[in-house]
Amino acid sequence: MTYSYTQISQCVRCPRSYRYRYLDGRREKDTRAAMIFGRCFETALGAYFRREDPSAVLFKEWGAFRDAPFEYRKGDSWDRLVHQGVHLLQKFAQDDRVHVPRPQENLQVKLHRTLPGDNEFVAYIDAFGALDGKECLIDWKTTTSRYTDEPGGLLTLDPQLICYSWISGISDVALVVFVRKQMPEIQYLKASITEEQRKEFGELVHSAVEQIESGRFLPHSGIRFPQNGCTSCSHLGLCLNNQPLIGTNLIRRPGASDLDWLDELVD
Ligand code: SF4
């Protein structure tokens, strides 16, 4: 069995949701415009580091979805996303704070780690490069709201960065957050992950795999602040036996997908 960060985090958040998605094949419809746009934007970033025209690449990639039946968030549209994307790419080039040498080798790098019982863990690292001259592992995010970075050191608790630090053995990590809002903004957030955090994440992975192999997927339900995970869960319709909600949010696709990691691109 091959595990990814998305699988482990979903199991930790709610084992029932894990079962729905990875055993029963009930996954969210792949029509979220923001997620597809995130993929296109990442391809454009790759073009930037290869010294190609990133805006042209973004138009080409995102252009393939111009007439796709996406459900856009209120105020969003195909045009609005592409303009925000171009603006962010221009700002990223002006800032000139991130460098990725040999982009063919250092972008979208697949790492894997062997787990007990013939299992493995796979992660795709967005980039190995340097932020403000300091070498680090970099994760891109496209989002519509700023990441909270206060109090200081908050980023060291980001589970995805801890996961990537665990699988790579690299302490210095960074999030580059492309914020799609009225005035597009880029956050450059740095963190240093400790050896103890990596060790603990390894233990978390082992315990999640044990839980999955035990076949017990008890729900971790929550509807009240701050544990209101059910209200944003795509499997809510299944737990409520609400057929219209199931039909709106989910499709049935057997087994885990090789492309699960793509969910990690956007917030
Ligand atoms: S709706 Fe709540 S209990 Fe049901 S799968 Fe989602 S998070 Fe778990």
pLDDT < 70 stretches in the chain: 30-31, 254-267
For ligand 1, the distance from its centroid to the CA atom of residue 190, given in whole angstroms, is: 32
What average pLDDT does the chain have? 92
Report pLDDT for 69.
85
CB of 174 within 6 A of ligand 1: the answer is no
Please state the three-class secondary structure of the chain as a single string. CEECHHHHHHHHHCHHHHHHHHHCCEEECCCEHHHHHHHHHHHHHHHHHCCCCHHHHHHHHHHCCCCCCCECCCCCCHHHHHHHHHHHHHHHHHHCCEECCCHHHHEEEEEEEEECCCEEEEEEEEEEEEECCEEEEEEEEEECCCCCCCCCCHHHHCHHHHHHHHHHCCCEEEEEEEECCCCCEEEEEEEECCHHHHHHHHHHHHHHHHHHHHCCCCCCCCCECCECHHHHCCCHHHHHCCHHHHHHHEEECCCCCCCHHHHHHEC
CB of 155 within 6 A of ligand 1: the answer is no
Report pLDDT for 207.
96
CB of 246 within 6 A of ligand 1: the answer is no
For ligand 1, the distance from its centroid to the CA atom of residue 5, given in whole angstroms, is: 19
Task: Supply the residue whose CA is at minimum distance from atom 7 of ligand 1.
Answer: 230
Per-residue pLDDT tens digits for 145-178: 999 989 999 999 999 999 999 999 999 999 999 9
Cα(221)–Cα(230) distance, integer angstroms: 6
Among 218, 221, 231, the mutation site with the greatest number of ligand 1 atoms within 8 A of its Cβ is 221
Report pLDDT for 219.
97
Per-residue pLDDT tens digits for 85-99: 999 999 999 999 999
Report pLDDT for 3.
95
For ligand 1, the distance from its centroid to the CA atom of residue 79, given in whole angstroms, is: 34
Task: Supply the residue whose CA is at minimum distance from atom 4 of ligand 1.
Answer: 239
CB of 219 within 6 A of ligand 1: the answer is yes
Report pLDDT for 31.
65
Among 218, 220, 240, 241, the mutation site with the greatest number of ligand 1 atoms within 8 A of its Cβ is 220
Report pLDDT for 260.
54
Atom of ligand 1 nearest to the CA of 219: 3
Report pLDDT for 255.
58
CB of 202 within 6 A of ligand 1: the answer is no
